[in-house]
């Protein structure tokens, strides 16, 4: 019996700038590639005619490229810490008849050093990232630059508005529209005190003391989170683990401890966050200097990693993509881990107990063992047979 053909459905965004076919990355048939705040921003920009034909636009945190694609007729610069977001932007530009270089992207940690006429900000989940970005904007705003931020109303708090006020200047908000809201910021150039607090660091004691640096977009920047600690306490140690992957590495803590406990192993650190991989590289270098081998990759899971090439994959899978909650990223990680593991290779993960990862792993690998658990988290192991 033939398998049914999988059809990847594009959704159509209808805004004053036109009609645009968009999809998420990773694809999710239950979620669209934009939200009401994207629509509100695009309608507002059109209504107030803030952009001349040659007006330059900087867009921050455009999750799937909806803003950049809709405004691609202008000179657009897009900054995102997410490789998946940049990949979605490229795919959606092509799907709408634009070349991939129509929008200029920045893959570094710092904002692009270019003067712009308008800044559009999708308010990120991590306020630390927003704070870091607002300090960076001070360097590129001229006196007439318009600054407009947007987000779903439930994600805009008094602490959010206080950041804009304290770092850039007077801030007002619109009335809610489809449960979204815009934030208008007037740059007060007399406000120049202070600077970004990131990266931050803390000390972690395991077999010895490590200094763990974390850039602004990382989760749990000032201490080790409870789930990661449980996996560290149950770190696999076997001589056969010669190639180890820290997938979704964040600051690289799991890979660093795995390297210390498995002294003959080489490490691969992968994450879709540029800031995460930069943090992991700095932390591994601080821990081992030039005495250990490691690779660092900003990537879509384990794309381009050879099949059946790794002995152990460690994962603390994310449950958020921007403000959305789901297991699409985790499932993608598990499938890629199975592909790159050698026969008898192990995937070891930590996750919230209620997420039921054991069922997914048993379906994918044919086996799943509970290694440890507490009231909130569980450490699971699956072997590729």
| Amino acid 271: pLDDT | 96
| Amino acid 6: pLDDT | 42
Structural class in CATH, domain 223-383 = alpha beta
Average pLDDT, the chain: 91
| Amino acid 53: pLDDT | 66
Indicate whether 322 pLDDT > 80: no
| Amino acid 3: pLDDT | 41
| Amino acid 321: pLDDT | 47
| Amino acid 179: pLDDT | 95
| Amino acid 4: pLDDT | 43
Of 141-145, 236-240, 304-308, 359-363, where does mean pLDDT reach its minimum? 141-145
Indicate whether 187 pLDDT > 80: yes
Contact between 131 and 163 under an 8 Å Cβ cutoff? The reply is: yes
Mapping DSSP onto H, E and C, the string for 105-137 reads: EECCCCCCCCCEEEEEEECCCCHHHHHHHHHHH
Indicate whether 11 pLDDT > 90: no
The larger pLDDT score, comparing residue 123 to residue 54, is at: 123
pTM: 0.91
- State the DSSP H helix or E strand holding residue 92, giving kind and residue range, or none if neither: helix 83-95
Contact between 115 and 142 under an 8 Å Cβ cutoff? The reply is: yes
Residue 10 pLDDT level (bands cut at 50, 70, 90) = low
Averaged pLDDT, 242-263: 97
Please give the CATH topology (third level) of the domain spanning 11-185.
Rossmann fold (3.40.50)
Residue 252 pLDDT level (bands cut at 50, 70, 90) = very high
| Amino acid 338: pLDDT | 97
**Phi/psi of residue 167, each to 5°?**
-95, -40
Averaged pLDDT, 300-321: 89
pLDDT tens digits for range 49-88: 877 766 889 999 999 999 999 999 999 999 999 999 999 9
Q: Where are the strands (E) in 153-251, listed by range? A: 171-173, 180-185, 200-205, 209-214, 243-247
Indicate whether 172 pLDDT > 60: yes
Neighbours of 297 (CB within 10 A): 19
Indicate whether 211 pLDDT > 60: yes
Indicate whether 326 pLDDT > 60: no
Same fold, 11-185 and 223-383: yes
Averaged pLDDT, 203-222: 92
Cα–Cα distance, 153 to 156 (Å, whole number): 5
Cα–Cα distance, 268 to 158 (Å, whole number): 40
| Amino acid 142: pLDDT | 86
| Amino acid 29: pLDDT | 74
**Residues 318, 8, 366, 84, CA torsion sign:** negative
Domain range annotation of the chain = 11-185, 223-383
Q: What is the DSSP string of 307-320?
A: TT-EEEEEE---SE
| Amino acid 2: pLDDT | 45
| Amino acid 367: pLDDT | 97
Indicate whether 292 pLDDT > 70: yes
pLDDT above 70 covers a percentage of the chain that reads 95
By the 10 Å C-beta count (0-12 exposed, 13-18 middle, 19+ buried), 266 is classed as middle
Contact between 253 and 315 under an 8 Å Cβ cutoff? The reply is: no
Of 111-115, 154-158, 192-196, 281-285, where does mean pLDDT reach its minimum? 111-115
Indicate whether 120 pLDDT > 80: yes
Which positions ≥6 away from 266 have C-beta within 8 Å? 242, 243, 244, 292, 293, 294, 295
Q: Which of 259, 260, 246, 256 is nearest to 297 (CA)?
A: 246
Averaged pLDDT, 180-197: 93
| Amino acid 1: pLDDT | 40
């Amino acid at each position: 019996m033939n398998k049914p053909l999988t059809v990847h459905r594009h959704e159509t965004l209808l805004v004053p700038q036109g009609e645009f076919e968009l999809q998420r990355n990773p694809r999710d048939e239950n979620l669209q590639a934009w939200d009401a705040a994207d629509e509100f921003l695009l309608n507002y920009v059109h209504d107030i005619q803030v952009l001349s034909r040659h007006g330059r636009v900087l867009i921050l945190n455009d999750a799937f490229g909806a803003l950049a694609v809709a405004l691609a007729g202008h000179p657009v610069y897009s900054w995102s810490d997410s490789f998946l977001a940049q990949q979605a932007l490229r795919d959606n530009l092509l799907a709408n008849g634009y070349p991939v270089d129509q929008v200029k992207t920045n893959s570094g940690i710092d904002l692009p050093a270019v003067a712009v006429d308008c800044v559009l900000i999708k308010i990120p989940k991590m306020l630390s990232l927003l704070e870091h970005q607002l300090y960076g904007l001070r360097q590129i705003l001229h006196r007439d630059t318009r600054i407009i931020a947007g987000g779903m109303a439930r994600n805009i708090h008094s602490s959010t508005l206080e950041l804009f006020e304290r770092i850039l200047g007077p801030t007002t908000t619109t009335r809610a529209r489809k449960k979204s809201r815009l934030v208008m910021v007037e740059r007060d150039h007399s406000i120049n005190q202070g600077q970004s607090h990131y990266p931050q660091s803390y000390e972690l004691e395991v077999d010895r003391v490590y200094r763990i640096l974390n850039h602004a977009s990382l989760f749990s920047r000032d201490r080790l989170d409870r789930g990661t600690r449980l996996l560290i306490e149950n770190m696999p140690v076997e001589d056969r683990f010669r190639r180890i992957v820290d997938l979704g590495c964040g600051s690289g803590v799991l890979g660093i401890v795995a390297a210390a406990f498995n002294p003959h192993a080489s490490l691969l650190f992968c994450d879709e966050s540029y800031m995460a991989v930069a943090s992991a590289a700095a932390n591994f270098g601080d821990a081992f200097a030039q005495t250990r081998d490691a690779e660092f990759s900003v990537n879509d899971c384990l794309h381009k990693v050879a099949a059946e090439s790794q002995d152990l994959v460690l994962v603390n899978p994310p449950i958020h993509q921007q403000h959305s909650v789901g297991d699409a990223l985790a499932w993608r990680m598990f499938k890629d881990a199975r592909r790159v593991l050698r026969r008898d290779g192990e995937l070891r993960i930590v996750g919230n107990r209620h997420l039921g990862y054991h069922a997914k792993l048993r379906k994918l690998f044919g086996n799943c063992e509970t290694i440890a658990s507490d009231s909130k988290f569980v450490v699971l192991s699956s072997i590729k047979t």
